[in-house]
Every structure is written in structure tokens, then in C-alpha cells.
Structure 1
Amino acid sequence: MSIERVLWEQDATGLAALVHKGEISPQELVDAAIARAEATRPDINAIATPLYDDARARAKAVDRKLPLAGVPFALKDLGLGIKGVPIHGGSRIPAFTADFNSVMVERYLAAGLIPIATSTSPEHGLRLMTESARFGVTRNPWNTGHTTGGSSGGSAALVAAGVVPAAHASDGGGSIRVPSACSGLVGLKTSRGRVPLTPLVSESWYGMVVDHAVSRSVRDTALLLDLTHGADPLSPYAARAPKGSFAVAAARDPGKLSLAVYRKSPLGLPISAETLAALDTAVALAREGGHTVEEIDLPYIGRDFMADFCKSVASAVAGMMRAEALRVGRPVTGEVERATRVLGRLGEMLSAGEVYDAVQRLNATARRMIEETARFDAVLMPIIAHPPLACGAMDPKGGDELIENMLDKLRLTGLLRIKPLFGQLMDKSLWFTHWPAIHNVSGQPSIALPVHVTAGGLPLGIQAAGRPGDEETLLSLAAQMEKLSGWLKRRAPLKVPA
């Protein structure tokens, strides 16, 4: 069997075991990953910056006793400091090149992982499709006419294509779970404070952004969390300490759990039959595992909640554009994409008091939801409202493009104070992804489960959200569902190695 085939078939834990046994070398794995990265690059366009020379050097020097020694990996081109590596954030603004590594990068390297590339992201992670003026369209290895989701779509594409078995990802409004749902992967949005974002930032988007990974298997997701979790001295807060190892939690039987299922759209927008079928598949697997499942409603998670989320993000984008202008020494409004510019201007228009009020309303609603769902071990709900979209499907067209152009060129951002117009733009931004932001606001962990494949052969995952700080129960449940469903054996058909 070729090394490329081994790389394509195995998860990170399996590859590390082969290195530990001496059956394969880190150099062989890295060379195979680089070869596959280049072979699939024209098809999926998921690499921002290749790190091939550095990866080969690390592979020669890595301690083969490390937990994930020699395993190829990718780092997202957003929100990290990687010493000597340009980070573009998917933008045409000049790249940021750090003279330090983020804590997460140091922990990945300490585990023995070998980064072979940075992975593409939409501009500043603002779209849930990975398409940017800077890098173009990132495509789904299951069908390259479709999106791999966003904003960690480059990482998801590289994992789904068998280039690397796992990759760094981040999530501020679904950016780990949406790509996982589109690409047939496991993706855990961790609890707020579980992993540090330092020293680049203390927190991002009012604490809504978290880092972790996308992977092929639940055991990889758990092991990566064991190797990277925990506050550092610069962390502003920390998640509740786990009772034990996350990997051990993923390996144990979950027992009989009490689960809920939430089916409604918080935006009141259409949900496809395929999405509801995916949710039904998850419910059936849960019941097969011996768990009780109760239908619930969350009537207070509605359009006002989502509008407050959008306003808080807009204010964060305005602040980001100010920080970028300070970094490069000039205004950057002309270098960002139109939608980013409009969102930033909306953020500038909102007063500090309005934003503070919105964040406080979000937090109050989150507290209510946490309290009212505390009797459940997890809540099942969708991630994406439709199967993975065709590339370009969320680009504004016709009247939508006219409105966006008017808001931009005529600087008519003030019109967004008109609630129906604001609601219209919110719906156009979120009609594909109604649910993920809920748990970014609440800080709860939520894991994408690749339970379903559509009639058209595209993955369609759903999510299970847990109590704050309780990734262990989610991982145990996810591992059971993985075993019952057989999703671990599914692979994208792109360039299957001999």
C-alpha cells in the first residue's frame, strides 16, 4: 500500500501509531501530504501559504515519541501568530507576519504535528462559504461545484481530500461546524475559555470566537483537545476543568442520556427536507444508542436575538478595520471586500451604548437557554438549512447586489436603521446557517456530527450542543454515533489514491 493511501485512509491517531511502531516515518508522511496537497490544489484551492520546506525540516527533527509525531497538519490563515509566516485573514490588506507563535501553535508543535500549509479563509472569517477576492473559491472534495463551507473551509477541504487527517479551525458563528457539516467531518466548537487565543488577542468578538480543529474521527478531536486545552497566564478566563481525559471520555460508553431536539429556524426561514432528514437520522441513532429524545422549542431564540448577534459582529468588524489601518499605516476600506466594508460602516454607525445593550441582551437570553436546557445532556439541532450550496450561491445578485452597492458607494449605511431593510440583509447573510451562532453567544460546546449523505452524494451534518464546559459528554455521545452510523469509513471521491 502506498504512503499516500495510508495517509488518505488513516486518522491522525492511526498515523501516529504507525510512526510510534516504526512502520512509517515522519518524512514519508510529510512528503505524501505535500504531494497530495499539490495534486488536489487545482481542484479544491484550499492552501493560502505552503510551508513545505519548513515541514520537511520539522519531519527530520521531530521526536518520534510525541503523541502525534510526524502527523501532517494545516493551520488556518486567520487569527493565529505563526513565526515568520504571513497571515492574510483571506484579505487583500497586507499580510501580518508575526515574530512569535500563538500558544495554540506552540501546543500543536509540542504534540509533534507538522504544519504543511496555512488553509484558506473568507475575508476575516465573515462568510460561511470560503470564497474571497484574495484567494478565490475553495471547493468541496465531495463535489467541486459546491462549497466546503466557511470560514474554516480551507481546513475542511484539506481534511476531506485526504491531504491531512486534521487541521486547525476557529468558530465565531459556526466556522468549525459549518465546514464540518458540508464536508463529512467531525468539528467541535469548544466551550468559551477552553483553549487560549493568546498572545495575539485575549478574546475575539466579545468571547464568541473559539479555536479547535476539524478532523475525520471523534478520537482525533478528543486527543487534539487533550493536547491543546487549558488557560495560559494571559488568558482572561478558563472553561470548567474536565473530570479527566477527553480521549478517555470519547472511548467510553455514554450510558443512557437525556437528549432534546430543536427543529425550528430562529430566523423563521425555510429548512430543506434533506436537513430535516439529517436531523431525523441523528435522532434515530440516539434512540438506537438507548437515549431518550424530547422535542423542545426555544421561542426566545428568534430574529431579535440574531439581529443583536449581527450588530455585535458589525462592531467587531469596525474595530478590526481600525486596528488594521493602524497596523499598515493607512485606511484599509478600499482594500476590503464590499460586504466587509458595509458591515464595518454599520459597526461605526452603532453607538457604544447600542452595542453594549445588544451584547447584554444576548447574554441574558443565553443564560435563560442554559438554565432551561440544563436538564438535557445535549440538544440536537441543524447546522445548515440546506445541502452544501453551489459555489457562488451566496453572492448578492439582482436587487440584492443593487442594494449592497447603494449602501457602499452612496454611503447609505444609515438606511440599515430601518428594521425591515436590516432584516432583509440579515436573512441574505444567514439563510444557509440559521443556528450555529446560538452557541457562540452562550459559550456552550457544540459538535458537528456527519450523520447524513444527501441523495446527491453530499455530506450534511447536524450538531449536538452540551452544557457549558461539558465536552466530555458530547465526545462520548459522538463516538457512539460514529460507531453506529459508520461515517468513519466515508471518504470524498476526489483523486482516490491507488
Structure 2
Amino acid sequence: MKEYTGMDAVGLSELVKKKQLSPIELVESAIDRSRKVNPHINAVIAEMFDEARSLVEQVDLSYPFAGVPFLMKDLEFFAGAPYTGGSRFLQDFLCPTDSVLSSRIRRSGLITIGKTNTCELGIQPITEPELYGPTRNPWNLSYTAGGSSGGAAAAVASGIVPMAHASDGGGSIRIPASCCGIFGMKISRGRNPRNPDTLGLGVSHCVSRSVRDSAALLDATHGPGLGDPYIAPSPNRSFINEVATPPGKLKIGFLSTTFDGKPIHPDCRDAVVDAAKLCEDLGHHLEEVSLAINVEKFTDAFTVLWYQMVTLGITSLPALVGKVASEEHFERLTWEIGQAGARYTGVETLTAMSYMQQLAGTMARFFIDYDLLLTPTLSKPPVKIGELVYKGDLEEYSRLANGWVPYTPLANATGIPAMNVPLYWNEENLPIGVQFFAPYGDEATLFRLAGQLEEARPWAGKLPPFTKTP
């Protein structure tokens, strides 16, 4: 079905509701596409094909995504499906129940055909777990698809599904979206249900080829679950309506260097300059800006919280599987970060959290004068497979990883929304994403601008060369 890879999830669902396509046709198209493409990219690590086929007769045509195939990241509970988090420790574990978000995804009408690859416990900006092996970038198989939602992004970019579940604790939606040339919205803290969420860094949503798919899914899933520690302000109207709404004339500050003024790869700088020029052509006001961010202090504080998040993950997993966690069950990097996180004191944790709150104030003051902030998504193009594999020096690994992804953690630390927009490909035909940040709770402005940019420079029809054959 040529229509399958040429349409987004909203469009496919409309055809199902008009009886022009059936859910089983869509599911079989997704399965066929996965079998052809996945051996090359290693995006889908758990197939749920038979389960998906069994659900097609139960599709409710009143649901927004009735009958559309979908993929869940292997870091979300989905009843009856494997849950490994890319870790040997959870290799044989099956989810006994849905997360709140998963239950809402089911009720949207999406049919899950499998789970996607992620780095172990989602802690790296690449997707190369020892358990399943690396997910490869569909645009060039020698390069990373990014992480930690690399499997999701590679699957969407190569046309297995039009959108897929993804999560983001330090850039894990936007990094792979940038690497794979698709759209990725990191939503506001508390926009979707997420409980427990001890440190407030992570969110769960999706990656997609079209902007309206991301908006329509958020319409179906947003709102707190019982006991959620954070609740984002209610939207004024549906997010999908925002996509078609002109954004008006926006005042956008932009950065073409790192936060502390250091130069970045020319491709990433050119992508930002190009995006700024496009925004100006669309009638917006652009100004190059600087931010009052102490990069060293920010990195140190984020590291404290990130490491302790890993420690918490390792110590909480034994309750799921009924066995004691030990070094042999985890990759060396994961275990060493977990051990390092356990050495921080309570005072150090509270100090880091206090700094993040101060930083949220810094960004709130910035958005008094500007509607949005534009930055590169990454400081250089996608890295090659193996380039960021841990070699035993935690300090050196952190330097390399943080150097590649200096921008994305800002949204997680402060809770604000941010999106990767695929507007630029370099001379090697690798995608180079740009990132827009908005004030807390203001996904609406991001969706309006994204819809305008998508109309001005469409990207949804782009498929990597080796995946173009139906």
C-alpha cells in the first residue's frame, strides 16, 4: 500500500472511518513494512503482530486514531508486552498492567504492533544497548538514530508507523527526532500523566512525521493521572486546532552558539540561521540573544539529578522481577552511574533541585521579552555507531555526551515545552534539526509555529533513500 507510507495517522484514520481502508489492511501494511525495513535499522525489538491482528475487529470508529498502527517504546508499561528497558535484568519480564498513558493510547484507537529499541534504562543520547544491539539511522546506517527513543524515531522515519510513543528525560524525544528528520515535541512537565515522577525531568509523548499527529495524540492523552505530582495548565482549546491557527507575529530569540558562547558544528549553525531566515520570511521578528546560564553549574546540577534517577531505577527494579540487582545484570555505564548517584548526599540533591528552580525563573524572565527561543537541537550532526559507546572513563563519557547534547536538557530541568523541527539536511543528506522552546504550558504557540513551518517547507513526505520502495 503506497498510501500507507504517504499518509499520517490522522489521514489514515479518516480513511478507516470512511470505510475506504480497513484496520486489518493498515496493520498488515505496517507488519509488512516492518519486516522489510527493520532488519536494516533494528528499531522494533518485540513484535506483537498476532496481538495487533486480534484487535482489529474491536476498533471503535469514534476513536481519533481508529485502526492506526503504533509502536510503544520499551520504557513504558503496556499490559501483556515485554518490558526490558534495554536491560538484561528485565529480559524475561512481561508487563502485568498498563501505565495510565498506555491506557489512554489504547483508548485513542491506536493498535500497537510492537515495542521499540532504547538504550539501557533510557540514560544515553544514543540507542545501542548490549541486549539488542544498535538502532541505525535510516538516512545512513553507519550513524546513530539518537536516543533514548532511537527505535521509535527510526521506525517513524522509515515508514513502519506514522508515529510512535517516545519519552524524554534529557532530550530523548528531540535528539532522535533531529537525527532521523522527524517532528518531536517534548511537552510541558505535567501535561501527560506520569506517576511516579520523583525529580520531574521526564515526560512521555511521541515522535511523528506530521505536526498534527503529535497534536491530535496529545489531545487524546493529556491531563493528570491520580496522584500525579505535577499538573500543567489546561489548554484553551484542542491542540490539533492550534496547528492550523496562524501564530501571528512572534518575537523569537535565537542562539547559533552554545549557551556559553562556544562555536558549534557549521551544519548545526547553518540549520539555525536557515530556520531564523525562514521565520523572518514568514513575518516573525528574530534577534540573536544570550542566556544568563552558568553552563558548568547547570551541568553539575543536572548530573546530580540524572545520576540519582539511574540509582533510583536500579534500586526499584528488583521489586518487579523478584531478584537482587547486581553488577552482572547491567551494562558497565549504567552500573557505574548508579553507584555514583548513590554517593550524593541529600543536601547535594536539594541544592541541585533548588538550582533547577532558579533556572526555571531565568527562563520565565526570558519569555517576558520573547515568545520563543530557537537553538540547534544538537551541537553537531548524528554521530557514528559506536562513537559514544562507554569506554570506562565516566568523566570523559559525560564530557562527550554533554558536548553533543548541550541544549536539550534545559527543557527537562525547567519543565518547559520544546520541539524539534526537521527543516535542514546537510550535504551528506543527514537531518539536522532545530529546536524551539516556549514558556511553561504553552505548547499551543509551538504547534501553531510548527504548522506554519511545515506548510512552508513540508518534510512529512521525505523518506530515507533505502526505504522508498513500498
TM-score, length-scaled by structure 1: 0.91
Tell me, yes or no, if structure 1 residue 317 matches structure 2 residue 314. no
Measured after TM superposition, the shift of residue 267 of structure 1 is 6.5
- In structure 2, the residue matched to 1:168 is 165
Q: Give the aligned residue type for 2:359.
A: T
Distance in 1, matches of 2:384 and 2:214, equals: 28
CA 1:444–1:26 in 2, change beyond 3 Å: closer, same or farther?
A: same
User: Residues 229-281 of structure 1: CA distance to partner in whole angstroms, max 9, x if unpaired?
Assistant: 01122322210111111011111111111111023324666510000011011
Distance in 1, matches of 2:177 and 2:11, equals: 20
Partner SS for 1:447 = strand
Distance in 1, matches of 2:307 and 2:262, equals: 22
Residues 388 and 397, structure 2, Cα contact 8 Å, conserved in 1: no
Distance in 2, matches of 1:66 and 1:489, equals: 25
Partner SS for 1:211 = strand
CA 1:269–1:320 in 2, change beyond 3 Å: closer, same or farther?
A: farther
Distance in 1, matches of 2:386 and 2:265, equals: 19
Tell me, yes or no, if structure 1 residue 90 matches structure 2 residue 86. yes
- In structure 2, the residue matched to 1:450 is 422
Residues 445 and 469, structure 1, Cα contact 8 Å, conserved in 2: yes
Partner SS for 1:271 = coil
- In structure 1, the residue matched to 2:50 is 53
Distance in 2, matches of 1:280 and 1:65, equals: 43
Q: Give the aligned residue type for 1:81.
A: F
Q: Give the aligned residue type for 1:494.
A: F
Residue correspondence of structure 1 range 363-382 to structure 2 within 5 A:
363-382=357-376
Distance in 2, matches of 1:267 and 1:315, equals: 26
Partner SS for 1:297 = coil
User: Residues 454-473 of structure 1: CA distance to partner in whole angstroms, max 9, x if unpaired?
Assistant: 10001111110001001001
Measured after TM superposition, the shift of residue 60 of structure 1 is 2.2
- In structure 1, the residue matched to 2:196 is 202
Q: Give the aligned residue type for 1:388.
A: P
Residues 139 and 145, structure 1, Cα contact 8 Å, conserved in 2: yes
- In structure 2, the residue matched to 1:35 is 32
More deviation, 95-104/256-265: 95-104
Residue correspondence of structure 1 range 29-428 to structure 2 within 5 A:
29-78=26-75, 80-95=76-91, 96-197=93-194, 201-204=195-198, 206-266=199-259, 270-327=263-320, 328-396=322-390, 401=391, 403=393, 422=395, 424-428=396-400
Residues 259 and 290, structure 2, Cα contact 8 Å, conserved in 1: no
Distance in 1, matches of 2:62 and 2:392, equals: 58
Residues 135 and 150, structure 2, Cα contact 8 Å, conserved in 1: yes
Distance in 2, matches of 1:295 and 1:246, equals: 29
More deviation, 290-299/183-192: 290-299
Structure 1 portions without partners, runs of 5+: 405-421
Distance in 2, matches of 1:73 and 1:382, equals: 29
Q: Give the aligned residue type for 1:20.
A: K
Measured after TM superposition, the shift of residue 16 of structure 1 is 0.8
Measured after TM superposition, the shift of residue 403 of structure 1 is 3.5
Residues 321 and 332, structure 1, Cα contact 8 Å, conserved in 2: no
User: Residues 114-143 of structure 1: CA distance to partner in whole angstroms, max 9, x if unpaired?
Assistant: 000100100011111110001101011111
Distance in 2, matches of 1:268 and 1:433, equals: 15
- In structure 2, the residue matched to 1:477 is 449
Distance in 2, matches of 1:113 and 1:147, equals: 28
Distance in 1, matches of 2:284 and 2:386, equals: 40
More deviation, 377-386/317-326: 317-326
Residues 178 and 420, structure 2, Cα contact 8 Å, conserved in 1: yes
Distance in 1, matches of 2:65 and 2:319, equals: 39
Tell me, yes or no, if structure 1 residue 22 matches structure 2 residue 19. yes
CA 1:254–1:155 in 2, change beyond 3 Å: closer, same or farther?
A: same
Distance in 1, matches of 2:247 and 2:90, equals: 48
Distance in 2, matches of 1:216 and 1:75, equals: 16
Distance in 1, matches of 2:242 and 2:149, equals: 26
CA 1:373–1:264 in 2, change beyond 3 Å: closer, same or farther?
A: farther
Distance in 1, matches of 2:465 and 2:368, equals: 41
Residues 272 and 385, structure 1, Cα contact 8 Å, conserved in 2: yes
Residues 266 and 303, structure 1, Cα contact 8 Å, conserved in 2: no
Partner SS for 2:452 = helix
Partner SS for 2:227 = coil
Q: Give the aligned residue type for 1:378.
A: L
Residues 125 and 151, structure 1, Cα contact 8 Å, conserved in 2: yes
Partner SS for 1:381 = strand
Partner SS for 2:460 = helix
Distance in 2, matches of 1:282 and 1:468, equals: 22
TM-score, length-scaled by structure 2: 0.97
User: Residues 65-92 of structure 1: CA distance to partner in whole angstroms, max 9, x if unpaired?
Assistant: 32111111000000x2211212000111
Distance in 1, matches of 2:409 and 2:200, equals: 12
Distance in 2, matches of 1:354 and 1:425, equals: 22
> Given the alignment, which residue of 395, 420, 434 partners 1:462?
434
Q: Give the aligned residue type for 1:222.
A: A
Partner SS for 1:87 = coil
- In structure 1, the residue matched to 2:410 is 438
User: Residues 330-369 of structure 1: CA distance to partner in whole angstroms, max 9, x if unpaired?
Assistant: 1332211111111111101111111111111122122122
Residues 324 and 332, structure 1, Cα contact 8 Å, conserved in 2: no
More deviation, 142-151/325-334: 325-334
CA RMSD for the aligned pairs? 1.5
Question: Number of matched residues?
Answer: 468
Residues 374 and 467, structure 1, Cα contact 8 Å, conserved in 2: no
Residues 223 and 246, structure 1, Cα contact 8 Å, conserved in 2: yes
Distance in 2, matches of 1:162 and 1:189, equals: 21
Distance in 1, matches of 2:319 and 2:29, equals: 41
Distance in 1, matches of 2:260 and 2:303, equals: 12
Q: Identity of aligned pairs, percent?
A: 36
Structure 2 portions without partners, runs of 5+: none
